[in-house]
Structure 1
């Protein structure tokens, strides 16, 4: 049996490696680096993994500890993604995003470069306690819609949003409430479902609401299902949840785990106001790994 403390140390080490890589140099790996290894007969995924491990200073050939870390994490952590799998998503197919700015909010397309690494799914927690970040890359350039707030990317529709919202989209039914609007990916996807009657969105940022109502909502197939309420989400949760009959409530208020933990814990307290509703939270599995 593996030692729990050793696994925790491994988790901490891998998270430190990946945080530094993703925050400081996600475009570190280049096509030429990948091609050089692919020529000797390995896959792009394996080439990416070995280049990244080498950049972290790991010796996966002669050092037993480094080889073990590589085996337990890197093979389950790095994934080559297919562009078509995401470009064929219904939102990508239906919704076209203009480039414009309203107030401090800017609507535009951003890009992942070929072989740029990014988080694309929730952390995988194994039965033995290992926590495996999920990092993807494309072998070609990939465009995705984004909202910037004060020149900082705030909301996007990337593979990460698509993968991490699959479950709350699948589970939604009846009268749906979502806290947070962004680019309207979640409202669009659930409004496409026959078993969803209505989608209420609570959003406090008027600029984001204006962008959505003017340029995105008109492209919805079932825009008649959409109701937008401008309000502070926590005030709405405090004063309105007990008065409404929402079947499914989804919260998406944070940028990532780092700013999501406190907001997640705060929103969890309001579940008692609507005990008959089903609650779900964006990237909850990843947030729980830090609690």
Structure 2
């Protein structure tokens, strides 16, 4: 097994996907997909073939490209079911108004049909291949978002739902979460009978205001929620150990690129409360880079 070749392949797939997701996530055309699936293949296969061609891969005549495609694309692309996510309790019970406070704006954004997006943590194989997870819907999909100065900052998309499943399932007792967003994590754990309280530490006053005025009143268990305006690292250093928290979830970053340093910094505070369980958003993906 050539470790250097695997690293090259990992770099290659991330470089290709980064260019695609940042510049043309809606590149895959509905009509083009339709032309391919009529021959009896899946939407996922059609999507992958179109992407591979756009990336300049010759998966017919080049053995190297065909092998690369089979090692990554076949495990990377997912045709998602809109209903599965619209049936999520947060989507079912929380309605997001369109409103702007300060530099923060609350609204619904959308994925176009066949628009690609990251939909889960990176999968790392035994041999060291890092396989991104890319999803798409067959129809338009609307999702709640917070924008900061007209840039999407926080969302509740399939990626957030999938990557928070474990920290939601594991939470118990008195829960502390760093980072508020749209309150998805707080809502999901507050619904659990074995969770007594949820303390949210958030530095952005506008986000807190949007949440407490327009989102929190819709929580069935709003009495469990306490919001503290503070810097996460200052709170971790000076107050966390006094709070008798059973479970801590940290979600302060936008993605892996800005999350690594904050993840490593926050982990240093774990030793202050050795009996507390600590979890981190997209930790599996972050660990691929460490």
Question: Which category of TM-score, normalised to the shorter sequence, fits these structures?
Answer: over 0.9
Alignment of 1:215-234 (within 5 A): 215-234=214-233
Cα separation, 2, equivalents of 1:104 and 1:237? 26
Query: CA offsets per residue over residues 225-263 of structure 1, 9 Å max, x none?
Result: 000111111100000122121000000001111111111
1:201 partner SS: strand
State the partner residue of 2:90.
91
State the partner residue of 1:6.
5
Cα separation, 1, equivalents of 2:199 and 2:243? 11
Runs of 4+ in structure 1 displaced over 6 angstroms? none
Alignment of 1:90-129 (within 5 A): 90-129=89-128
State the partner residue of 1:66.
65
Query: CA offsets per residue over residues 204-244 of structure 1, 9 Å max, x none?
Result: 11100000000000000100000011111110000012212
2:193 partner SS: coil
1:272 CA displacement: 1.1
Cα separation, 2, equivalents of 1:232 and 1:60? 50
Unaligned runs of 5+ in 2: none
Cα separation, 1, equivalents of 2:124 and 2:115? 24
Cα separation, 1, equivalents of 2:216 and 2:242? 27
Cα separation, 1, equivalents of 2:277 and 2:245? 8
State the partner residue of 1:39.
38
Query: CA offsets per residue over residues 86-128 of structure 1, 9 Å max, x none?
Result: 0000000000000000000000000000000000000001111
Q: Is 2:257 the counterpart of 1:251?
A: no
State the partner residue of 1:284.
283
Cα separation, 2, equivalents of 1:224 and 1:249? 19
Cα separation, 1, equivalents of 2:226 and 2:145? 22
TM-score by length of structure 1 reads 0.99
Cα separation, 2, equivalents of 1:229 and 1:274? 19
Equivalent residues, number: 290
Cα separation, 1, equivalents of 2:12 and 2:241? 44
State the partner residue of 1:156.
155
Q: Is 2:135 the counterpart of 1:142?
A: no
State the partner residue of 2:131.
132
Cα separation, 1, equivalents of 2:211 and 2:101? 11
